Amino acid sequence: MVWQGGRTKIKAKAGYDLCPVSFVRRSIRMATLDEWDRRYVTGETAAVTKLFFPNAVAAYRIVRKIETTNIRTQFMTGHGGFSEYLERFKCKDNPACICDQDISETVPHVLLECPVFAQERVQLETELGIKLEKHVVKELMSSKQRDRFLRYSQRSYHKMANTKPFTVFVEGNIGSGKTTFLEHFRQFEDITLLTEPVEEWRNLRGWNLLDLMYKDPSKWAMAFQAYVSLTMLDMHRRPTTTPVKLMERSIYSARYCFVEHMQRSGILHPAQFAVLDEWFRFIHTEIPIEADLIVYLKTDPKIAYERIKRRARSEEQCVPLSYLEELHKLHEDWLVNRTFAECPAPVLVIDADLDLSQITEEYKKTEHQILRKAVDVVMRSPNKLSPKKPITSSPIKIIPQIRL
């Protein structure tokens, strides 16, 4: 390089070493951030985002630390299911919140004032020892309490937008370890867990229908299955404020496994079967049943049989191995082979033959896989908008490493 001085001509090598590339890179990044910040602070847009992030630099730092989900993006930008926003884009006639015709449903209103969300808000305020006001939001976003606050926002959003939860049915034979599996997910605040209402089946106005059914199936199977279907329908229709709903069995396994078995084995009279089947068809076509994923706990019937003996639920002690084998075949034909009945959602198959003490460890390892798969599956599924169409894709398998 030739450098022309005023009077002298100096020939010298370029002094790149005096100025490290990292320094140049950092300077450019800081200058960009400064310019971004200047436009962000002085601009008139992004009023909602400014509630969470006072400046672009803070936003840049915090957003990298939190997981971005579509719900979070919606309430941090206001671009989502808020009436005020929807009305602006002509997707709704009225910007009002359900609490008051004269108040617009906006992010600050929902998070800070609306009485509909007062219960969740008071709970948050008591837990954190704060009063949730406008200026507190940005403080919470850069504090250790951020995750708790985001959870509150997310729940309020779900309640407001009445977003449908991601609904998972946990299916499997008697003794397949469904209870252990479900108990593992009890720790997650974002999951609503609905276990089989066995106690209701054991005590309907003082009558133990489960016991009556096992003791005299041909007399009681019809009444028992009719009541099971009713309690299952109640679970399907129960509203949740969490983004995920995990249900033990479904109205589908009631019909395609248990009732089907009773019909094929002659326990149910064809007329009794016809009544149950008509009820099922009516529910299936007339009532929207959410189904996003089925987790199938696949078990060897012999292992399920041993578990039933060990758990010693009094009513089940008469259950023969042959019954479990037949139920197993029905589950397989419905969820894996797809040779019988329709499958209402994609299926995740888990090898659940492990010993119960080991299986919890195994579920811990697979929980992220299960939840992430859950999201992936829905995003890929062509049926996500019409879950009632039968699913034809092959089941997804999660095979634990340890085997008995």
Q: Determine whether 286 is an active site residue.
A: no
- Tell me the closest approach of the beta carbon of residue 294 to ligand 8LK, in angstroms: 13
Q: Which stretch binds ligand 8LK (CB under 6 A): 47-55, 144-152, 252-260, 358-366?
A: 252-260
Token pair, residue 96, equals 């009002």
Q: Backbone dihedral region of 308: left (phi > 0), alpha (psi from -120 to 50 degrees) or beta? A: alpha
> In which residue are the tokens 């937008």 written?
161
Pairing relation of β-strands 347-351 and 396-398?
parallel
In eight-state DSSP terms, residue 64 is: T
Binding mask 196-225 for ligand 8LK (x = CB under 6 A): x-x-----------x---------------
Task: Decide if 183 contacts 231 (C-beta within 8 A).
Answer: no
Q: Is 338 helix (H, G, I), strand (E, B) or coil?
A: coil
Residue 120 neighbours by CB under 8 Å, 6+ apart = 152, 155, 156, 159, 241
- Residue 337 has, within 13 A of its CA and on its CB side, a CA count of 10
- Nearer to ligand 8LK by Cβ, of 181 and 258: the residue is 258
- Nearer to ligand 8LK by Cβ, of 138 and 249: the residue is 249
Distance CA 262, CA 209 (A): 16
Q: Does 183 bind ligand 8LK (CB under 6 A)?
A: no
- Nearer to ligand 8LK by Cβ, of 75 and 258: the residue is 258
Q: Kindly write down the DSSP assignment for every residue of 375-388, as one continuous string.
A: HHHHHH-TTTT-TT
Q: Rounding to the nearest 10 degrees, give the CA dihedral for residues 76, 77, 78, 79.
A: -130
Q: Does 352 bind ligand 8LK (CB under 6 A)?
A: no
Token pair, residue 197, equals 């209402």
- Tell me the closest approach of the beta carbon of residue 40 to ligand 8LK, in angstroms: 54
- Tell me the closest approach of the beta carbon of residue 317 to ligand 8LK, in angstroms: 10
Q: Is 317 helix (H, G, I), strand (E, B) or coil?
A: helix
The residue from 71, 222, 235, 254 that contacts ligand 8LK (CB under 6 A) is 254
Q: Rounding to the nearest 10 degrees, give the CA dihedral for residues 247, 312, 198, 202.
A: 170
Percentages helix, strand, coil for the chain, rounded to the nearest 5?
Answer: 55, 10, 30
Query: Whats the size of the chain, residue-wise?
Result: 404
Q: Does 110 bind ligand 8LK (CB under 6 A)?
A: no
Q: Does 174 bind ligand 8LK (CB under 6 A)?
A: yes
Q: Which stretch binds ligand 8LK (CB under 6 A): 94-102, 118-126, 151-159, 251-259?
A: 251-259
Q: Does 56 bind ligand 8LK (CB under 6 A)?
A: no
The residue from 153, 156, 192, 253 that contacts ligand 8LK (CB under 6 A) is 253
Q: Does 232 bind ligand 8LK (CB under 6 A)?
A: yes
Q: Which stretch binds ligand 8LK (CB under 6 A): 50-58, 66-74, 95-103, 246-254?
A: 246-254
Q: Does 258 bind ligand 8LK (CB under 6 A)?
A: yes
Q: What amino acid occupies position 264? A: R
Q: What is the largest CA-CA distance in the chain?
A: 114
Distance CA 119, CA 342 (A): 41
Q: Does 260 bind ligand 8LK (CB under 6 A)?
A: no
- Nearer to ligand 8LK by Cβ, of 119 and 317: the residue is 317
Q: Does 228 bind ligand 8LK (CB under 6 A)?
A: yes
- Nearer to ligand 8LK by Cβ, of 228 and 330: the residue is 228
The residue from 316, 332, 342, 376 that contacts ligand 8LK (CB under 6 A) is 316
- Nearer to ligand 8LK by Cβ, of 51 and 304: the residue is 304
Interacting positions 79-108 with ligand 8LK (CB under 6 A): none
- Nearer to ligand 8LK by Cβ, of 54 and 175: the residue is 175
Interacting positions 120-149 with ligand 8LK (CB under 6 A): none
- Residue 233 has, within 13 A of its CA and on its CB side, a CA count of 16
Q: Tell me which of 248, 260, 326, 362 is the catalytic residue.
A: 248
Q: What amino acid occupies position 118? A: A
Q: Which residues bind ligand 8LK (CB under 6 A)?
A: 174, 196, 198, 210, 228, 232, 249, 253-254, 258, 316
Which are the catalytic amino acids? Answer: 248
